[in-house]
Each structure stands twice: as structure tokens, then as C-alpha cells.
A and B are shown apart, each in its own frame.
Chain A
Amino acid sequence: MEAAWVALLLTLKVAGWATALNLVLGVGVGFAMARLRFPGRDLLDAVFTLPMVMPPTVLGYYLLVLIGTHSAIGSWLNHTFGIRLIFTWQGAVIAATVVAFPLVFKAARASFETVDPQLEDAARTLGLREVAVFSRVSLPLAWHGILAGLLLSFARALGEFGATLMVAGSIPGRTQTLSIAVYEAVQAGQDDTANFLVAVTSIVCIAVLLAANRLVPGRVALRD
């Protein structure tokens, strides 16, 4: 059973980091896509949404090509900083981040689009710098929708299997997350371990979804 707790902690660590990265990336890209007008915007939106519809193994393969030890980025990271992403928990974070990204990005874009641009203009006429317009008007008004997206992405990252397996493998105690441990346990005929892991995963996911449902915009009557 101890192996199960190790896998749970690792999974929470990976999903936590992935969600933190997506908070920055998803909110940034979502805001840019909601406010900027430029040619190729629809195509870019499609590319950013791709991880939602593409098989995770295909994404994992792309990541291997992109950040693998023999790729330009991978060998640069390795030679300059001694960082290896393949078969490490950091690699699992990258995989989970990419797979869960569209959930934050989509929620952030939709939420920012509901913010009345007039309120941002009002803040400008009152002397606020652009960063402050974002942090004091746009972000607080879009926050509920973004938070719901973040929780969904956390749940998605918890259950990540395909891309993680491709990039990080299944090293017990190092890269073996819950969902991969379930697969390994079933393969090895360890039904007790599998049952336990499945129960733990289900409880965590239900808790996250309950929290996300409470935060869906519309529940909170902030706008007039």
C-alpha cells in the first residue's frame, strides 16, 4: 500500500505544478486572444485547443520530438543547465501541462470576453497603467470562470496517462503516477492494489469536480 501513497503524492505534485504553469500560460494566452485582433487568430486558437481533441499518445510523441534528448531544445537544456526532461517527473509535468492547457485557456478566453471593455476604458481614464487595468479590473471580473477552468485542468492533469507514459515512462517512485500505477497493478494481477488506487483516484477527482461546479460563473451574482 505504501507504493500507492508514493504514487498519489507524485501525482498531486505533477498535477499541482502543471496547474500552476497553466495559470500563467492559460490566463496570459486567453487574455491575449480575447483582446488582440490579428490575422491568423482563429488558426492559433485551433492550435491551442488541439491537445483537447488529439490522442494523448500523439501529443506525447510530439513532445518527445520537441524536447527529447536529441532534439534542439532537449540537448540545449541538457548541455547548458544539465536538465533532462525525458523519464523525469519534470517531464511528466510538461506532458500534463500541455494536455490540460486548453481547459484553462478556453475558460480564460471566454471569461475575459464577458468583461465589458468599457470598464477597462473607465479605469484608463482614471489614470491606471495597463498592468493595473488588468490586475484590478479584467482579472477580478474574469476570475470565477478562470478558477473553474483551473480546477478542471487539475482534474485532467491528475488522470493524465498517455502523454505522460510517452514522455516520462513508468518508473515506480519517480514517474509512476496514479493512473499509470493502476495500469501496472492490473497488468501484474495485483487486484488489491488496483482497487485501492482506483478508489483514491475517484475520490480525488470527485472532490475536484464538486469544487469546480461551485465556481462556475453565474452562481455568483457579481455583475449588475
Chain B
Amino acid sequence: MIWDVDLRQALVHDHSRFELDVRFVSDASRLVLYGPSGAGKTQTLKLIVGIARPDDGRVAVAGRAMYDSASRLFLSPQERRLGYVFQDYALFPHLTVRQNIAFGLRRGLLNPSRSFAAAAVERWVEAFHLESVMGHYPHQLSGGQRQRTALARALVNEPAALLLDEPFAALDKRLRQHLRDELKELQEQLRVPLLLITHDDEDLRVLAQEVVHLHAGRVAAAPPALEAAIAE
């Protein structure tokens, strides 16, 4: 199994209580988490990556156990080596595109220099056509360039799987279409398992091999229209 997820977490926010209870198992190398906003999609992703702590449950990705409350296993996000692309990309505003992409390659207490060079960096820069903006800071980039920089930053580390939180939400329609195809091609080429959040039907149609439908913190049966969209 590529995805083996069984997580529970109670969240209290401003006196309202939200119960997350998500269970799914899948062998799809492109799996989509689909659902309305507030369904707990982002929180589920954070729990899988390890930057939030569940109350109990189990997570295994690509055959590797990451979390298991029964055996008190909790790998830190550093140990999980999962690539995570945040919804607003979370690029480091004080670093250039080159430094952002090289960020995970440089160990130690200092950031990579502005002229940091490595084969892995050049590879993704070329693949994503970022050569001309390598010295730019994130606020100087277009939406598409930001998204590609965030993707390159995650891929440089050769993650065991790639998790993306609404990767196309901040982009206009034409660019979205283009990057969607690009991501699909990339996944087929790298064979890296992909889990992505969306509430866009078009994302589902192009990218999903399987879909997990999330509603109010729980996995719900997918509406027939959705199933039809994927089968297409």
C-alpha cells in the first residue's frame, strides 16, 4: 500500500470543537483529497507530514511507518522526508529563488549562499524554466513561478512522496491548466507518489487515479458525479 492513513484528532478552536477522524487506504500513485473548505483536508496533510500531532492512529507512506500510536512511534517531519507544498507556497521571503530551492541540500546553521550550485538545483531550475529569476526574491515572482519554485524546493530533497495543498488555487485558469498537465507528466516521469488537495473538478479529472472524499472531518462516500469524472 502506498497510502495507509488512520488518524484522529480533536481540535478546539474558539470554543467550537472539530473532530477529525480520517481513514483511507490506497495504492494509487496519484491520490486526491477532495472536499469543501473546512472539511479537514489541510489538517490531514499536516498530520501525515508530521508538522501537527494526532491524538492517535497510524500513518504509513510507501511502505514506511511514520506514526503509530500503538507502538508509540512518531517520526519527526525531518525524519519523514516527505515533500510538502503549502497552499500559499511558504517560500522563504529573505532568500532568493536559488537559495529557496537549495534550502534542503545545505545542512548546518547557515543558509546556502546566493551562488550555491548543485546538480539537483540546476536540474529542477531547467525543468521548470526558472533560470531567469534565480536571483529574484519570492515577492518579485509571478504566481506560476512561485508554485514552481515551491515544487522544485520540495523535489530537490528527493522526497519519498509529494503532498500538495491546493497547488493551483492561486493561479489563473490558463496557467492552472498548463501546470496541471506539467505536474501529471512529472509524476509519471519520477514515479513519486502524489497526494493532493483540491476542490476543483478539473484537477480531479486530469490528475486523480483515486479520490478520497472528505466531509466534516470524515471520509464520505464520493458522490456518483465524482466517480464518473475520474472514470472518464
List chain A positions with a Cβ less than 8 A from chain B.
Answer: 116, 118-119, 121-129, 131-132, 135-137, 140-141, 221-224
- Bound Cα distance from A127 to B80, whole angstroms: 9
Question: Taking the nearest CB of chain B, how far is it from the CB of A140, in angstroms?
Answer: 5
* Cross-chain contact B90 with A124 (CB below 8 angstroms): no
Q: Known contacts A126-B103, A126-B157; is A135 also within 8 Å of B110 by CB?
A: yes
Cβ of B43 under 8 Å from chain A: no
Q: List the B side residues contacting A224 at CB < 8 Å.
A: 91, 93, 137-139
Q: List the A side residues contacting B94 at CB < 8 Å.
A: 140-141, 222
Closest 7 pairs (CB-CB, A-B): A224-B139, A126-B104, A122-B90, A121-B51, A124-B77, A135-B109, A125-B84
Most buried by B among A119, A123, A127, A141: A127
* Cross-chain contact A124 with B78 (CB below 8 angstroms): yes
* Cross-chain contact A122 with B84 (CB below 8 angstroms): yes
List chain B positions with a Cβ less than 8 A from chain A.
Answer: 46, 49-51, 76-78, 80-84, 86, 88, 90-94, 103-104, 107-111, 137-139, 153-154, 157
* Cross-chain contact A132 with B86 (CB below 8 angstroms): no
Q: List the B side residues contacting A124 at CB < 8 Å.
A: 50-51, 76-78
Contact of B92 among A119, A131, A132, A135 (CB under 8 A): A119
Question: Taking the nearest CB of chain A, how far is it from the CB of B58, in angstroms?
Answer: 20
* Cross-chain contact B86 with A122 (CB below 8 angstroms): yes
Q: List the B side residues contacting A221 at CB < 8 Å.
A: 139
**13 examples of A-B residue contacts, CB within 8 angstroms:** A119-B93, A121-B46, A121-B77, A121-B86, A122-B86, A122-B92, A127-B104, A132-B107, A140-B111, A222-B93, A222-B137, A223-B93, A224-B138
* Cross-chain contact B81 with A127 (CB below 8 angstroms): yes
- Bound Cα distance from A122 to B104, whole angstroms: 10
- When C-beta atoms are compared, the residue in chain A nearest to B150 turns out to be A122
Q: List the A side residues contacting B104 at CB < 8 Å.
A: 126-128
Q: Known contacts A125-B83, A223-B139; is A119 also within 8 Å of B78 by CB?
A: no
- Bound Cα distance from A210 to B90, whole angstroms: 34
Question: Taking the nearest CB of chain B, how far is it from the CB of A138, in angstroms?
Answer: 11
Q: List the A side residues contacting B51 at CB < 8 Å.
A: 121, 124-125
Q: List the A side residues contacting B78 at CB < 8 Å.
A: 124-125, 127-129
* Cross-chain contact A125 with B93 (CB below 8 angstroms): no
* Cross-chain contact B103 with A123 (CB below 8 angstroms): yes
- Bound Cα distance from A120 to B150, whole angstroms: 14
- When C-beta atoms are compared, the residue in chain B nearest to A126 turns out to be B104
Give me 17 other A-B pairs in contact (C-beta within 8 A), A140-B94, A140-B111 excluded: A118-B86, A119-B93, A122-B84, A122-B90, A122-B92, A125-B51, A125-B77, A125-B83, A126-B157, A127-B104, A135-B110, A136-B103, A137-B92, A141-B93, A223-B93, A224-B93, A224-B139
- When C-beta atoms are compared, the residue in chain B nearest to A129 turns out to be B78
- Bound Cα distance from A127 to B51, whole angstroms: 12
- When C-beta atoms are compared, the residue in chain B nearest to A223 turns out to be B93
- Bound Cα distance from A157 to B108, whole angstroms: 35
Q: List the A side residues contacting B82 at CB < 8 Å.
A: 125
Question: Taking the nearest CB of chain A, how far is it from the CB of B54, in angstroms?
Answer: 16
- Bound Cα distance from A135 to B94, whole angstroms: 13
Q: List the A side residues contacting B108 at CB < 8 Å.
A: 132
- Bound Cα distance from A121 to B50, whole angstroms: 9
Question: Taking the nearest CB of chain B, how far is it from the CB of A125, in angstroms?
Answer: 4
Q: List the A side residues contacting B83 at CB < 8 Å.
A: 125
- Bound Cα distance from A123 to B88, whole angstroms: 15
- Bound Cα distance from A136 to B116, whole angstroms: 15
- Bound Cα distance from A222 to B90, whole angstroms: 14
Most buried by A among B76, B88, B93, B110: B93
Q: List the A side residues contacting B157 at CB < 8 Å.
A: 126-127
* Cross-chain contact B110 with A136 (CB below 8 angstroms): yes
Q: Known contacts A124-B51, A224-B139; is A136 also within 8 Å of B93 by CB?
A: no
- Bound Cα distance from A124 to B90, whole angstroms: 12
- Bound Cα distance from A38 to B154, whole angstroms: 33
Q: List the B side residues contacting A136 at CB < 8 Å.
A: 103, 109-111
- Bound Cα distance from A118 to B46, whole angstroms: 11
Q: List the B side residues contacting A135 at CB < 8 Å.
A: 109-110
Question: Taking the nearest CB of chain B, how far is it from the CB of A221, in angstroms?
Answer: 8
Q: List the A side residues contacting B77 at CB < 8 Å.
A: 121, 124-125
